[in-house]
Amino acid sequence: PRSGGGGMGWALLGVGLLLALYTLLRHGLRSAPRPRARPALRGRTAIVTGGSSGIGAATALELARCGARVILATRNALRGEAAASRIRTETGNEEVRFMHLDLASLRSVRAFASTFLRQEPHLHLLINNAGVSAGGMTEDGFSLPFQVNHLGHFLLTQLLLERLRSCGPSRVVIVASSAHCAGRLRPESLGRPPPGLFSAFQDYCDSKLANVLHARELATREQDTQVTCYAVHPGFVNTALFRYAPLWLKPLLLPLAWLLFLDPSEGAQVVLDCATQDGLEPLSGRYFTDSGPQQPWPRGRDDRLAQALWEGSERLVGL
């Protein structure tokens, strides 16, 4: 009997050591987030796509806390309404509402934009945050990550641009990723899943390169207006983004995500910096990380590719 107890003791000790190691690793490998002071945003209206969970919800919460009117533009009505209600309760800001938007449907993007423009007189901040990491094809015939992460947001931004201009100074923040480093956009095959064994991974990286180039080209085109634009790498954040990862990859990703990745409120900080920080206008079109503005990887600085992507995107969404 005693040896059984001893085994139990060793097991508990093992678990204790593992937990201690986990805590050390988690806090040692990640710097503590610095609390940021945010300006008052009363009288300003923000749209946050994918605002019902993850970075989007954390961003929406903080914008509401600063007094902004916040529209959670998200696909699932139940989750969207619940998130809006939670944020209203937590911040005491009654100006938080849900509006239906499914970026995997260009028809839904158009419907959202026309409803928004009819019901809401102002728009100062557009946070293009929603994203998926993999998936099949959309009803419009494009790969899901490319449409949700780039094309749907591209169309949304174009449809709301006039309102952003008339309410200037206004900002567009596009949640990109350092995964753009592996992006290889080919203008002639935009929106089609790339070939090869790692098609899903490549597709995601391509969509993130598109985010970086979209911000760059939008900034160029809006130079003489009061609309500025920023691409953001929020850090590696533990969100539902990975729900579409292949099954064999999940056992590898999940422990890594818990150990090293930021939580959504930490990931939202850079997004909020680009949305609210004073004096960023001269840096329009740039790519930001937690350390401030950074050079994106070479393809993310390719102005000819940015222009080809813009023209291709306009064609694909029928603008």
Residues known to be catalytic = 204
Length of the chain: 319
* Cβ partners under 8 Å of residue 300, min gap 6: 180, 181, 183, 209, 212, 213, 216, 287
Token pair in block for residue 241: 């983004």
User: For the purposes of burial, counting CB atoms within 10 Å of the CB of 148, is it exposed (0-12), middle (13-18) or buried (19 or more)?
Assistant: buried
DSSP 319: -
Q: Is the peptide bond prior to 169 cis by the omega test (within 30 degrees of 0)?
A: yes
* Cβ partners under 8 Å of residue 193, min gap 6: 137, 143, 199, 200, 203
Tell me what percent of the chain is helix, strand and coil, each rounded to the nearest 5: 55, 15, 30
